[in-house]
Structures are given as structure tokens and as C-alpha cells.
Amino acid sequence: MEEIRRQVAAARRRLVMQQFLGILPWSLLVAMLIAIIGLLIPKIWIIDVDSNVWFASWMGGAVAAGVFLAIGWTMVVRRQALDAAIELDRRFGLKERVSSVLSLEADELETEAGQALLTDAIRRVESLEVREKFGISISSRAFLPMLPALVAFALILVPDAQDKAKAASSANAEIRDQIKRSTQELKARLAEKQKRVEESGLKDAEQLYKKLLLGLDEMSKDGEVDRKQALVKINDLAKELEQRRKDLGDPDKLQKQFEGLKNIERGPAEKIADAMKDGNFEKAIEQLKQLQEKMKKGDLNEQEQKQLAQQLEQMQNKMQEMVNAQREAKAELERQIQQKIANGDMEGAGKLQRKLDDLQQQDRQMQQLEQMANKLGQASEAMQNGDMQAAQSQLSEFADQLQDMQSEMQQLASLDEMMDEIGDAKSAMNCEECAGAG
């Protein structure tokens, strides 16, 4: 009987081991899938833990959990001794001898028939090699856990949320440093130019520099400003400067208008007209002061006074012609725009409107030009009437207006410099290679 139990136990061990090997791939598969979820956690949320420790813990835990789960599951469903005996009979063709012996009660074994069955069963199982019919094999299902395992190892290549946060923080710090450097460079250059503006007495330009520097100071104080925010803020400053530039008009177009002062008759005001024609208002003011000094001292003879009166009248007429030409051009554009709209040509009307907008930007300069022309006309009339004092007074007012125009031209030049500096600063903020140095 002991031999039978020994062979049945050997068969049972192999049956249970085969059960375990069949259950293990599924338990490992489940454990690996759970491990993948665990490994995804630091990829999504920031966790203050070493990524290698986290990976090893989840993978090692998954393997251990899978094995223990397979062991526990196998213990629950493991084959019993009678099952092993039935399999022994079936696989070795023993016609239920072994299973029958095991199913008999003790008193039944004591009978003549029981003893005969027992003797026959022992004789049959003594020579059996259980391993021959109860081989242990591994099926293709054993590779099931390999797929999630490969996915788990692939997750190593995915950066953790903590690493991303550190990289983003480092990048943001570099960007803030870049913005700070470019802003400081811009402030230094603008501060230097502000000093020159203060020395020249350009109050409006000085205020613009102060306002621009104040805006840069506020931007520098914002420690969390990113590149996009910085560019938005500096663009706002640029828009404000551009609007001021539009308000002052286009110096190039004004210069082109003054080219109409050519062919002025020779006389005391000849150099004034030439300087204005060349756009050199500073020289024109200087020549005008010299002319006023001569008039005050009475150094102009009767012929020169007559020439001066004629020159001033000529200059008035030419300047008024400039103003009238601009008005006529605006009126013609307005007429054409209305015609385009009436014909349904909105695209053509839009193009003409943009031209009209350009002309309207010169309205302020044209108003100044007309006022200056009036002063020249009044000075000419006073001289023709022999009233030199009134003529000097009108020329003084003309000189003041010319000085205002000169100041505005200088302001425009300063605005152009500011716009260029802001453009350089924006380029420096966006320049990854130069790190904000420009």
C-alpha cells in the first residue's frame, strides 16, 4: 500500500506543479498590468521618489505578487490524491486499479477480494516511472506576461512628471534670466539716450523715455514673467511709441513737401529757404535769427527790404500750395472712395482708404505749415507797409513755430531710436543662442 501512495503522491506533485505553471502566466499578467498603472503614476503626477527605486519596487513587487498569487490560487484548486490516482490509471492503462484501491475502506481491504486487488495494484505500480506519463511542460501562455513587461520597461524612456517640472523650471529660469539681461541692456541704452535728450531740452521726448523706462522697471520686477508675457508687455510699449510717432507725422513726407521751396528769388531770406528745403531746421532758425538781428539794427537797405518782402511772400505762397495740394489730394481720395463704394468695389475702397489714412497723418504738420505760411504772409505785408517792428514780431512767431517743428523732428528721431532699441530687445529675448545678450 505504501508503494501505491508513493506513486500517487509523485503523480499528484507533478499534476499540481503543472497547475501552478498554467496559473502563473495569468497571475503574472494581472500583476504586470497593475504594475504598469503604478509606473504611470510618476509620469503623470509629481512624486518625490527616485525613479529607479520606484521602477524596481513595482516590477519586483509585481513578480513577487504574481508568484504568490499563483501559489495561493494553485493551493485552492490543486488536484487531490484520488484525482492523481485516476490520472495514474488513465495514463498507464491500469483500468482503475489504483483509484479503486484508494477508494476502499480499511475493512474492505481486509477482504479476500480487497487483498487480491491491492496485490495486483502494487504489482502494477512498482515498475511504473511516473515522470514518463506526467511530464511537466510550459505552454505558449507562459509568454503572456512578456508584453506588459516590455511596456513597463518602455516606460523607462518616458520622463517623469518631476523631471519635466525640473526641466521646465530650469528652462523658465533661463528664459527669465534672458529676459532680465535683455531688459537691463535696453534700460542701460535708453538711460544713456535719455541723458542726451535732457541736455537737448526735448521735454516730450524726455517724458517718453521716462515712461518707457518705468514700463521696463515694472516688467523687471515681475519675477515670474515668461517670454510671451514679456513680449506682450514690450509690444504694448512699442505700440504706444508707434502711436506717438503717427501723431507727430512722417518727417520724410514733410521733408519732401519743403522741397517746394526751391527757386526762391535771391535776397536776405535765401539761406533760410535753402535750409528749410534741405530739412535743416536748425540752420534755418540760425539764419532767421541773423536776419532778425539785421532788421533790428536797421542793416537792411531799401532794396534788401523789398527783396525780403517778396521772398517771404513767395515762401508763403509755396507753403500754402503744399497745404492746398494735400487738401485737394484728400478730397479727391474721399471722392474716389465714395465712387468705389457706390460701385460695390469694397477692396478698391479699402486700398484708397489706406492712402487717405496716410495723408491724414500729415494733418497736424499741414496745420503747422499753414500757420507758418500765415506768419510769413503777415511779415511780408508788414514790410510792404514799412512796419519793420510788426514784421520782426511775425518772424519771431514764425521762428517759434519752426523751433517747434525742429523739436518734433528730433522727437521723431528719438522715437525711431526707441523703436530700434525695442526691436533689438525683442530679438534678444527670442534669441536662444545669445541668451539675451543680443
Minimal CA–CA distance to 320: which of 270, 377, 364, 370? 370
Instruction: Write the pLDDT tens digit of every residue in 125-181.
Output: 777 787 888 888 888 888 888 888 888 888 888 887 676 666 555 556 666 666 667
Q: Kindly state the average pLDDT of the residues 331-339.
A: 92
Helices (H) and strands (E) in the chain, counts: 18, 0
Task: Indicate the DSSP class of residue 160.
Answer: P
Helix (H) or strand (E) holding 312: helix 302-342
Spatial separation of the C-alpha atoms in residues 85 and 95, rounded to whole Å = 11
Q: Kindly state the average pLDDT of the residues 98-122.
A: 78
| CB distance 292 to 304 below 8 Å | no
pLDDT at 1 over 60: yes
Spatial separation of the C-alpha atoms in residues 203 and 411, rounded to whole Å = 9
Residue type (1 letter), 36? I
In this prediction, residue 328 has a pLDDT band, given cuts at 50, 70 and 90, of very high
Spatial separation of the C-alpha atoms in residues 393 and 379, rounded to whole Å = 8
Helix (H) or strand (E) holding 262: none
Range name among 48-52, 69-73, 292-296, 327-331 with the lowest pLDDT average = 48-52
Spatial separation of the C-alpha atoms in residues 21 and 63, rounded to whole Å = 14
pLDDT reported for residue 335? 92
pLDDT reported for residue 341? 92
C-alpha cell at 296: 533790428
Spatial separation of the C-alpha atoms in residues 411 and 415, rounded to whole Å = 6
pLDDT reported for residue 171? 54
| CB distance 63 to 28 below 8 Å | yes
pLDDT-above-90 percentage for the chain? 8
pLDDT reported for residue 249? 62
Minimal CA–CA distance to 408: which of 244, 264, 242, 222? 244
Report the alpha-carbon angle 62-68-73, nearest 5: 120
Burial 114-125 (b: 16+ CB within 10 A, else e): beebbeebbebb
pLDDT at 15 over 90: no
Q: Kindly state the average pLDDT of the residues 91-96.
A: 80
pLDDT reported for residue 436? 43
| CB distance 323 to 366 below 8 Å | yes
Spatial separation of the C-alpha atoms in residues 316 and 373, rounded to whole Å = 4
Domain boundaries, the chain: 2-158, 251-407
Report the alpha-carbon angle 53-59-62, nearest 5: 135
DSSP string of 329-385, one letter each residue: HHHHHHHHHHHHHHTT-HHHHHHHHHHHHHHHTTHHHHHHHHHHHHHHHHHHHHHHT
Q: What is the mean pLDDT of the chain?
A: 79
DSSP string of 377-432, one letter each residue: HHHHHHHHTT-HHHHHHHHHHHHHHHHHHHHHHHHHHHHHHHHHHHHHHHHHHH-T
